[in-house]
Amino acid sequence: MLCCRSHFFLGGLAILEHCICPISWELRFPSNLSASTLPKCFHLWCRHDFTFCNFLSVRRQLDGRKQLNPRKPQQDLIFPTFIQLLSAQIVFYEDRNFQGRSYDCSSDCADFSSYLSRCHSCRVERGCFMVYDRTNYMGNQYFMRRGEYADYMSMMGMSDCIRSCRMIPMYRGSYRMRIYERENFGGQMYEMMDDCDNIMDRYRMSNCMSCHVMDGHWLMYEQPHYRGRMMYMRPGEYRSFMNMGNMRFMSMRRIMDSYY
């Protein structure tokens, strides 16, 4: 989840500093902005890559407010839309090739059957997501990064439609995970800080039945070289993979910020 460390309005300029990524963002307003006048468009400028995007939805959020004082913080007005637009977004479509009804999602969704009766294509606009072929983040998992998936079932070998999704927050920092040979953190233990394409070759470890993710977000695969079924691991303790589809993991990969 994205969050902002500071928020200032200086004349017609709003500066927001992003906690996860040390980048300065600027919301630019017309110079004639007053308490009773709303601009038609906001511009978001990222100093890191000098790209612009229209912040049109901010105006929609501000519409109906009686006052907008550019010299005082308007955190309750700006932050929700700002956070949503910068974090992640995935669009699901009923039919292949982005046809039919669509559903925009920017956070976790345990069941979007109320929005779409089926889903056969999707487009990741920003961020990364895990998608699941069952509701409540159950069933087979698939990792999706920014890009277009016109027929994801054929592309990814899926046998069923997406039923739920989980947004993977951007993370920048160290990665650390301990893997164990047996359940409940028993047997051999190895601490990992980078990708491993084969735990048998690196650690002479034939099985991995539990793990403790201390830092970062990871993908674990049931076969060497990042093949086979996968599972998303966020920070936490995983005492038994027997309760998670009885999967055996043989390779692990970090979800890096470069994926975003």
Among 43, 61, 86, residue at a domain's last position: 86
Which tens digit of pLDDT belongs to each residue from 1-22?
Answer: 333 333 333 333 333 333 333 3
Same domain for 108 and 156: yes
Which tens digit of pLDDT belongs to each residue from 230-256?
Answer: 999 999 999 999 888 778 899 999 999
Mean pLDDT for 182-191 is 95
Same domain for 148 and 105: yes
Torsion of CA 139, 142, 146, 147, to 10 degrees: -100
Using 50, 70 and 90 to split pLDDT, how confident is the model at 158?
Answer: confident
CB-count burial class (<10 Å; 0-12, 13-18, 19+) for 15: middle
Quick one: pLDDT at residue 87?
66
Lowest mean pLDDT among 100-104, 152-156, 228-232: 152-156
Same domain for 42 and 27: yes
Same domain for 143 and 94: yes
CA pseudo-torsion sign 179, 182, 183, 184: negative
Q: Model's pTM, two decimal places?
A: 0.67
Same domain for 182 and 162: no
Res 140 pLDDT > 80: yes
Same domain for 138 and 180: no
3-class DSSP assignment, residue 92: strand
Q: Could you give the number of structural domains in the chain?
A: 3
Same domain for 157 and 186: no
Among 168, 201, 222, residue at a domain's last position: 168
Among 33, 64, 86, residue at a domain's last position: 86
Which structural domain range is residue 65 located in? Answer: 4-86
How far is the CA of 88 from the CAs of 44, 161, 168, 174, in angstroms?
16, 21, 8, 22
More confident residue, 169 or 66: 169
Q: Are 140 and 133 in contact (CB under 8 A)?
A: yes
Q: What percent of the chain has pLDDT over 90?
A: 55
Same domain for 74 and 93: no
